[in-house]
Amino acid sequence: MVSVPVSMISFFMSIYIIFTINPQYLLVFVALLVVVWFLIHAAQQKWLWYRRIRAVLESEYTRQFIRNIMSKFEILQSNKIEKEVDNLNEKLHEILEIEKKKHTFEHITYNIGNIITNVIRWSLLFLVGTRILMWTANYSDLTLVILIIWYFETGVLNITGIYKKILKRFSNITQLWEFIDNSPKLKNINEWKKFEYKKWAIQVVDISFGYHDTSFVFENFSIGIDSGTKTAFVGESWGGKTTLVKLLSWYISPNQWDILIDGQKLSEIRLMDYYKHIGYLTQDPWVFDGTIRENLAYALDSEPTQDQLEMAVRNAKCEFVLEFEKGLETEIGERWVRLSWWQKQRLAIAKIMLKNPDIIFLDEPTSALDSFNEEQVNIALHNLFKNKTVIIVAHRLQTVKTADRILLFEKWRVIEDGTHEELVKLGGRYARMLELQGGF
């Protein structure tokens, strides 16, 4: 592309030549040039405004999409997929609308610019042609005017292009322009057979699972979990505990065979029916941009009462919420008050208490608490656990000593199975872990 100095030289050279031919030509030229310049400046400012609005919308879309990916477990078990998809579609529609307006505006201003440029071109040709007919100019003047028009158009187009590129690059400094536009579809999220509630007994039947197709971590793995019991998964890190919880909650699915809830295969039931009845506290709880009240009530179909919210906050040891100036109406998330990990974990416990699900999966639920608060939360959880099927993953054995059944995992296998007293009496790996943790 022609450089800025060359474009400026071409532009001013055309002005000078017009002036030397006839100052009257220059007056017409300058008048039209002022109109063109104001049009270009107004058009570029409007174009930049459209671009900024689109950048903001795309940034919001990206943030919302990433938030949905990061909090997919929360969205699934809260039955909010349709709501979040509608929100994304609404944001995408806004982006398309602003893009349509931007293109329409560009098309209109481009045509207006062409009209004005043609007016300048034909005005100059008309003036020179009239003078030729009156024998006050010759054909060399016409050739010179054509050359002037070429210089003028070349200079203006290049300067306009450079101006637009500068604005575009300036706008790009702080905005995110690329975002993910596709995500995998869950096959049976709203399809297939309706899930029928019975007793919430769980059966894992000869499943095999691997994070890579070439090798399995769980192979021909089977366990049964009675309804209404509290089962604990303990053992070394990377032993398979969290992976099995994700399989049981069907956030990942086995490569072979199936998991049954009350005799119904999870691969054949409508998952939304299942997700309505489960609560899953992950190791890294997620919060949404919004108020604490909105976060707590996210999984509920109806608005909880103030008493219900305050009870959940107290039972989950979330009293820090009440220390904020606006209490439950405090805005949290990336753009507002940022909560620490342990604060997020306590809020997640409060959300599960409010949802009151039939199957509860807890992955290290009290790891962020000190011994005193852990005991208090365990008391609250104990009340929540009544008549529910509970699976809890823990490293601190103090958390699971009251479990009906404890499964000790090592290298993706269950090597010990029993109650706390039975495993202590066995004198195996569990008893050694207990001794290392102080034996209570």
Least confident of 98-112, 128-142, 361-375: 128-142
Return the amino acid letter for 227.
S
* pLDDT at residue number 196: 76
In 3-state terms, what secondary structure has residue 374?
helix
Q: Give the Cα separation of 410 and 319 in Å (integer).
A: 38
Range 4-16 average pLDDT: 61
Return the amino acid letter for 339.
L
Range 17-44 average pLDDT: 68
Least confident of 5-14, 268-277, 382-391: 5-14
pLDDT of 230 over the 90 cut: yes
Q: Give the Cα separation of 323 and 37 in Å (integer).
A: 58
* pLDDT at residue number 223: 92
In 3-state terms, what secondary structure has residue 360?
strand
pLDDT of 187 over the 60 cut: no
pLDDT of 179 over the 60 cut: no
Higher pLDDT pick, 387 / 43: 387
What is the distance between the terminal CA atoms of the chain, rounded to a whole angstrom?
77
Range 26-49 average pLDDT: 71
What average pLDDT is seen over the chain? 76
Q: Give the Cα separation of 161 and 7 in Å (integer).
A: 11
Residue 194: phi, psi to the nearest 5?
-70, 140
Higher pLDDT pick, 5 / 267: 267
Domains in the chain with CATH codes: 4-172 (1.20.1560.10), 202-436 (3.40.50.300)
pLDDT class for 15, splitting at 50, 70, 90? low
Q: The pTM is what?
A: 0.61
* pLDDT at residue number 295: 87
**Per residue in 131-156, pLDDT tens?**
666 665 565 555 656 656 655 555 55
* pLDDT at residue number 418: 95
